[in-house]
Structure 1
Amino acid sequence: MLTAAEKKKAYAEWRELCKRVQQLTPVTLSISRETPLEKEKRIRRLQSNYAAFCEYYFPHYLTLRDKVTGDVIRVVHNAPFHNAAANKVKNTPNLKAVFKWPRGHAKSTHFDVFLPLWLMFQSQRLINFMVAVGKSEDSAARLLGDIQAELEYNQRLIADFGDQKNLGEWTEGEFKTQSGVKFLAVGRGQSPRGLRDRESRPDYIVIDDLDDDELCRNEKRVKDLTAWVKEALFGALDVGRGRFIMVGNLISKCSVLANMCKAKGVHVSEIKAIDKNGDPVWRDKWTRQEAQEVADFMGYRAWQKEFMHNPITDGTIFRYEWIRYKKLPRLDKYDMLVCYVDPSFKSTTANDYKACRLWGKIGTELHLIDCYVRQDTVSGMVRWLYNLYESLPEGVVVHFYMEANFMQDIILDEFETEGKIRGYQLPISADNRKKPEKIQRIEGVSPLWERGCVWYNETLKNTPDMQVGIEQTLALERGSRVHDDAPDADEGAIWYLQKSARGAKFKPVYIRRESPKSAW
Structure 2
Amino acid sequence: MMTENKKAKQAMERYLQHLQEIKNITSVIPKGNEAEKQKRIAKARESYAYFVETYFPHLASSKCGKFQIEAAEYIKENSRARCVFEWARGHAKSSHISLMIPMWLKIQREATPMVMVLVSKSGDAAKRLLSDLQAELAGNELYINDFGAQKTDGLWTDGEFVTSVGDMFIALGRGQSPRGIKKRGIRVNYISIDDIDDDEMCRNPRRVSEAVDWCLTALLGTMAMGRGRFVLVGNRISQTSILAEIAERPHFFHTRVNALNAKGSPTWKENYTLEEISSLRVEMGERRFQKEYMNNPIMEGAIFERKYIQYGKMLPLREYKGIVVYTDPSFKSSTKNDFKATMLVGITKQGAFHVIKAYADQTKVSEMIGWHYAIEEYVGDTPCRYYMESNFIQDLMMDEFYKAGTETGKQIPITGDARKKPEKFARIEAMQPLFQRGEVIFNEAERSAPGMKVLEEQLLMFQRGSKAHDDAPDALEGAIWMLKKQERSMAFTPRMGRRSKPKSAW
TM-score normalised by L of structure 2: 0.70
Q: 1:48-81, CA deviations, whole angstroms, 9 ceiling, x for partnerless residues?
A: 1111111221122124xxxxxxxxxxxx222222
Going from structure 1 to structure 2, the CA distance change for 1:369 and 1:54 (only over 3 Å counts) comes to closer
C-alpha deviations, 1:117-158, integer Å up to 9, x for none? 000111221562111001111211111111111111111121
Partner of 1:40: 38
1:390 aligned to 371, 375, 394, which one?
A: 394
Report if the CA contact (8 A) 1:338-1:360 is conserved. Answer: yes
Q: Which amino acid letter does the alignment assign opposite residue 42 of structure 1?
A: R
CA contact (8 A) 2:306 2:460 kept: no
Report the AA paired with residue 443 of structure 1: P
- Residue aligning to 1:13: 14
1:134-184 deviation per Cα after TM superposition (whole angstroms, max 9, x unaligned): 111121111111111111111112111221224368763111111111111
CA distance in 2, matches of 1:180, 1:319: 57
Cα deviation, residue 291, structure 1: 2.1
Which residue of the partner structure matches residue 186 of structure 2?
200
Q: Does 54-63 or 131-140 show the bigger shift?
A: 54-63
Distance between the aligned counterparts of 2:17 and 2:249, measured in 1? 41
CA contact (8 A) 1:320 1:474 kept: no
The aligned counterpart of 1:134 is: 120
Long gaps (5+) in structure 2: 312-321, 329-340, 348-353, 362-387, 403-412, 493-506
1:59 partner SS: coil
Counterpart among 95, 98, 103 of residue 84 in structure 2: 98
Name the structure 2 match of 1:220: 206
| 2:432 aligned partner, one-letter code | I
Query: Alpha carbons of 1:171 and 1:399: their partners in 2 closer, same or farther (altered >3 Å)?
Result: closer
- The equivalences for 1:472-511 within 5 A come to 474=461, 494-498=480-484, 500-501=486-487, 504-505=490-491
- The one-letter amino acid paired with 2:253 is H
Moved more, 277-286 or 189-198: 277-286
* Structure with bigger gyration radius: 2
Question: TM-score if structure 1 supplies the norm length?
Answer: 0.69
Q: CA deviation at 1:444?
A: 2.7
Please identify, of 185-194 and 116-125, the stretch whose mean Cα deviation from structure 2 is larger. Answer: 185-194
Question: Which structure 1 segments of 5+ residues have no match?
Answer: 64-75, 325-333, 341-356, 372-383, 407-434, 507-520
The alignment partner of 1:268 has SS state of: strand
Distance 1:84 1:145 in 2: 26
Task: Please report the RMSD computed on the Cα atoms of aligned residues, expressed in angstroms.
Answer: 4.1
Q: Secondary structure at the match of 2:182?
A: coil
Q: Which residue is 1:186 aligned to?
A: 172
1:428-443 residue pairs with structure 2 within 5 A?
442-443=432-433
1:264-304 CA-partner distances (Å, limit 9, x unpaired) = 22111211112355443223423333222322222222211
Distance 1:307 1:28, change over 3 A: closer
The superposition leaves residues 421-476 of structure 1 with CA deviations (integer Å, 9 ceiling, x where unpaired) of: xxxxxxxxxxxxxx9x99786223453556449999978999xxx9xx96675355
What is residue 495 of structure 2 aligned with on the other side?
Answer: none
Alignment of 1:321-470 (within 5 A): 322=309, 335-336=323-324, 361-362=345-346, 364-365=354-355, 387-391=391-395, 395-402=413-420, 442-446=432-436, 447-448=438-439, 451-452=442-443
For 2:252, the equivalent position in structure 1 comes to 266
Distance 2:460 2:156 in 1: 54
Distance 1:367 1:297, change over 3 A: closer
1:49 aligned to which of 36, 47, 50:
47
Does residue 250 (structure 1) correspond to residue 268 (structure 2)? The answer is no
- Check whether the contact 2:302–2:460 (CA below 8 A) recurs between aligned residues: no
| Identity percentage of aligned residues | 34
Q: Is the 8 A contact 1:250 1:258 kept in 2?
A: yes
Question: Following TM superposition, by how much is the alpha carbon of 1:191 offset from its aligned partner in structure 2, in angstroms?
Answer: 2.2
Give, in angstroms, the shift of residue 6 of structure 1: 3.1
